[in-house]
Amino acid sequence: MSKKTTGFILGSIVGAAAGVVAGILVAPRSGAESRAMAADAMNDAWDSAVDTYERAGQAVEEQVAGVRPSVDAKTDELRAKVDAARERMDQLRDSLSDVVAQTSAQVSDAVSEVTDKVVSMADAAAEQGSAPAEAVHVEVVEPEAEPESETEA
């Protein structure tokens, strides 16, 4: 070790010892009395911290208890809305499935009808000895909607 380091360590030890001696000589109370006072001060601080913690815990519980009913009500409301939406989706899925099945049956019937007409026309043309058609044109015609009655005053 260097001379400076040794001097610093020796000075620190001597200073600490001098502080202990001065504290013992100048202390207004005995060691046992001072330790008892320090222990009482620590117990008081601990009790105060525990009391503060308990009061804060109760305040938080009261705040949570005040908010819980509105949270529960909103949760119930949202659950009801989700259930209603699920029911509506099931109804829509069922009705869409029915419409698709009906439309599929109608298309199938229409294709069969057109096929039957084409076959019968081809047979009729063959019986008459006509030349086969070069092309076939199929036109889909939608029925006209009935006009709405005008009742303006």
Q: Give tens-digit pLDDT for 27-61.
A: 777 778 877 887 888 899 899 999 999 999 999 99
Count of CA atoms in the C-beta half-sphere (13 A) of 108:
6
Cα angle 113, 115, 117 (rounded to 5 degrees) comes to 70
CA–CA gap between residue 114 and residue 109 (Å, rounded): 9
CA–CA gap between residue 58 and residue 46 (Å, rounded): 18
Q: Give tens-digit pLDDT for 106-120.
A: 998 888 888 888 888
- Residue type present at position 44: D
